[in-house]
Structure 1
């Protein structure tokens, strides 16, 4: 584990690295010297991405794609910059394309306002996200389509799973050869709105449809992956099926 510039870089398995900054995870998938970035975190994660790439012997010139599991502001953060400055293509499910361009225009079941009062232990994470640029994310309108059921032709060759609920076009990525599933915010181990840890879905403050989200967890469990990599929180290494069972037991918040 390394801490480049205040972020935390963790090697998960061969060719898979987790970059955590301000409570948000991005992932680096390596293949033959090329890199895919999964989720673009927050704007001030950008310099940490450069340091993380350097730590694994790569550089910005090796990044070939950014894949968004979904297009909330805290996963789109540096996508526009990477696209403009590096010419890197950005992928998201077609339902997410409007949100990618307008990353604050998202559906959610409950008002966000009461959460800091009801869940004060979430305040450090929310404050860190704000310092990392959460209130100033610029969207991107030049986005390519992520197609469920296909393997994406980018480094890591992830299989795309459709897991709507947190957002209407949310996807997960399965790396069968590495026994890994990247769940985005369909399943997390830290809810940034409540501060609760362990496998769960994100609170209604940021989830469009909790019932649909819980239903979609079937696709994650069906991967049989040993390692679950969430959009927020630590990796889970006790299997996707167990993570899904615990998330369902925790229920909506």
Structure 2
């Protein structure tokens, strides 16, 4: 069974329970971008082997942000493989306590208002969304710099979904890993197409919409979100769509 697919040059998508992880490869090995939910563990291991590597080839874990559905196996990767886990300094406390996140709107109302999202949230729960262990000892992602790990991504501050959210730009590959700053599936509403995530999980929607400017400035042709399918119509068009949809 195929568990991984190449979605940009040297970038591989591992999709589990409507949450996306990515593997960046180059001659130095692999970087894991975002660590999904606990249930992705075996699938992630199979994916590493399917693309011709071994777990020991994983050199780093980069977190776009530290919500529970993006740190699911970060601690396990850190402990088992001895690899550093990177995130923006604003994410340190959240990474240690991934359920203590700021959000604008009550979460309980969303399944009632958006019943089509219930199967998505149920799948996430079954994948371990209710028992994620936090991770500590993070290395800092610094906006405007290149991280010296496989893939050499450039850090793009895109705060709003969380206060330290960072997208990762691969300019030589024309690719932007947008995390949850811009997604093509909102798990809380089940709406598809480029957008920011609903206030049930976003700290500041106005800030998130402003941060779209930083994403657009990358000029990336391929956008790889934290939830939903890759977008190949260019970041500028994706940002236009997201602004038109607005906050929810």
Q: TM-score, normalised by structure 1?
A: 0.97
For residues 184 and 3 of structure 1, the distance between their equivalents in structure 2, rounded to whole angstroms, comes to 23
Q: Is the Cα–Cα contact under 8 Å of residues 40 and 75 in structure 1 kept in the other structure?
A: yes
For residues 49 and 179 of structure 1, the distance between their equivalents in structure 2, rounded to whole angstroms, comes to 24
Deviations 1:142-172 (A, max 9, x none): 1110000100000000000001000000000
Alignment-derived partner of residue 79 in structure 2: 84
Q: Of the candidates 177, 186, 202, which is equivalent to residue 191 of structure 1?
A: 186
Alignment-derived partner of residue 60 in structure 2: 65
Cα distance, 1:3–1:123 mapped onto 2, change above 3 Å: farther
Deviations 1:171-220 (A, max 9, x none): 00000000000000000000000000000000000000000000000011
For residues 203 and 27 of structure 1, the distance between their equivalents in structure 2, rounded to whole angstroms, comes to 23
Alignment-derived partner of residue 213 in structure 1: 208
Query: In the alignment, does 2:34 pair up with 1:3?
Result: no
Q: Of the candidates 145, 159, 162, which is equivalent to residue 164 of structure 1?
A: 159
Deviation above 3 Å: which 4+ runs of structure 1?
none
Query: In the alignment, does 2:233 pair up with 1:238?
Result: yes
Deviations 1:82-132 (A, max 9, x none): 001110100000000000000000000000001011101111110110010
How many residues in Structure 1 have an aligned counterpart in Structure 2? 248
Alignment-derived partner of residue 243 in structure 2: 248
Cα distance, 1:189–1:175 mapped onto 2, change above 3 Å: same
For residues 39 and 174 of structure 1, the distance between their equivalents in structure 2, rounded to whole angstroms, comes to 14
Alignment-derived partner of residue 226 in structure 1: 221
Alignment-derived partner of residue 40 in structure 1: 35
Q: Is the Cα–Cα contact under 8 Å of residues 147 and 160 in structure 1 kept in the other structure?
A: yes
Q: Is the Cα–Cα contact under 8 Å of residues 33 and 58 in structure 1 kept in the other structure?
A: no
Q: Is the Cα–Cα contact under 8 Å of residues 8 and 222 in structure 2 kept in the other structure?
A: no
Q: CA deviation at 1:33?
A: 5.1
Structure 1, unaligned runs of 5 or more: none
For residues 162 and 177 of structure 2, the distance between their equivalents in structure 1, rounded to whole angstroms, comes to 16
User: Equivalent residue of 1:50, what SS?
Assistant: helix
Question: For the aligned residues, what is the CA RMSD?
Answer: 0.8
Q: Of the candidates 51, 76, 79, which is equivalent to residue 56 of structure 1?
A: 51
